[in-house]
Structure 1
Amino acid sequence: MTTRNRSLLNRLLGLAAAATLGLAAGAAHAEKKDITLAYVEWSDTVVATNVAKIALEEQGYKVKTVPLSGAAMWQAVASGEADAMVAGWLPATHGAYYAKLKDKVENLGPNLEGAKIGWAVPTYVDINSIEDIKAKAAEFDGKVIGIDPGAGLMKASEKAVKEYGLPVKLVEGSDATMVAALKDAYTKKQPIIVTAWTPHWMFASFDLKYLKDPKGVFGGEETVNTIVSKKLKEEAPGAYKILDNFRISLDAEQKIMVENEKPGASPAATAKAWVDANRAEVDSWSK
Structure 2
Amino acid sequence: MRHRHRVLAVLSAALVSLSLAACGGGGQESAAEDTEITLAQQPWEDLMVENQIAKSVLTKLGYSVTIQNVSVPIGAQGLSTGDIDAYLGNWWPSQKSVFNEHLKEGDVEVLGTLVEGVSYSPAVPSYVAEKYDVHSFADLAENGDAFGRKMLGIEPGTPGNETILNAIKKDAYGLGDWNLVESSTSAMLAEVGNRVEEKQPVAFLAWNPHWMNVKWDLVYLKDPQHVWPGAGEIRVTARADLAKESPEVAQFLSQMKVDKATASEWINQVSQQGKPPAEVAKAWMESNQDQIDEWLQGVKTASGKPATAS
Shorter-chain TM-score bucket reads: 0.7 to 0.9
Aligned pairs for 1:182-261 (under 5 A) are 182-261=192-271
Alpha-carbon contact 2:164-2:180 (below 8 Å) kept: no
Q: TM-score by structure 1 length?
A: 0.77
CA distance in 2, matches of 1:106, 1:45: 19
Cα shift readout 1:81-115 (whole Å, capped 9, x = no counterpart): 3221112233x323333432213211112122222
**Worse overlay, 98-107 or 75-84:** 75-84
- Which residue of 135, 146, 164 corresponds with 2:153? 146
Secondary structure (helix, strand or coil) at the match of 1:144 reads strand
Moved more, 272-281 or 43-52: 43-52
Counterpart Cα distance in 1 of 2:110 and 2:26: 35
In structure 2, the CA distance between the partners of 1:162 and 1:80, relative to structure 1 (3 Å rule), is farther
Identity %: 30
For structure 1, which segment, 71-80 or 96-105, has the greater mean C-alpha deviation from structure 2 after superposition?
A: 71-80
2:165–2:180 contact (8 Å) kept in structure 1: no
2:116 matched residue in structure 1: 113
**Is residue 116–residue 234 contact of structure 2 (8 Å, CA) maintained in 1?**
yes
Encode CA deviations 1:32-51: one digit per residue, 9 max, x unaligned: 33322223333433333333
Using the TM superposition, give the Cα deviation of residue 250 of structure 1 relative to its aligned residue in structure 2, in angstroms. 2.5
Change (3 A) 1:166 1:67: farther
8 Å Cα contact 2:151-2:178 kept in structure 1: no
Residues 55 and 242 in structure 1, CA contact (< 8 A), matched pair in contact too: no
Structure 1 gap segments, 5+ residues each: 1-12
> 1:11-160 counterparts in 2 under 5 A?
17-18=22-23, 29-90=31-92, 92-102=93-103, 103=105, 104-125=107-128, 126=132, 127-134=134-141, 140=147, 143-148=150-155, 151-160=158-167
Question: What amino acid sits opposite 1:56 in the alignment?
Answer: L
Distance 2:19 2:81 in 1: 42
Partner SS, residue 124 of structure 1: helix
Aligned partner of residue 68 in structure 2, secondary structure: strand
- Structure 1 stretch 228-237 or stretch 204-213: which is displaced more? 228-237
Could you list the runs of 4 or more consecutive aligned residues of structure 1 that deviate by over 6 angstroms after TM superposition? 13-16, 19-22
Distance 2:261 2:71 in 1: 25
The two structures have a TM-score, normalised by structure 2, of 0.72
RMSD over aligned CA atoms reads: 3.2
Number of positions where the alignment pairs a residue of Structure 1 with one of Structure 2: 270
Distance 1:282 1:134, change over 3 A: same
**Code of the aligned partner of 1:41:** P
Cα 1:177–1:81 change in 2 (3 A) is farther
Larger Rg: 1
Task: State how far apart, in whole Å, the 2-side matches of 1:81 and 1:138 are.
Answer: 53
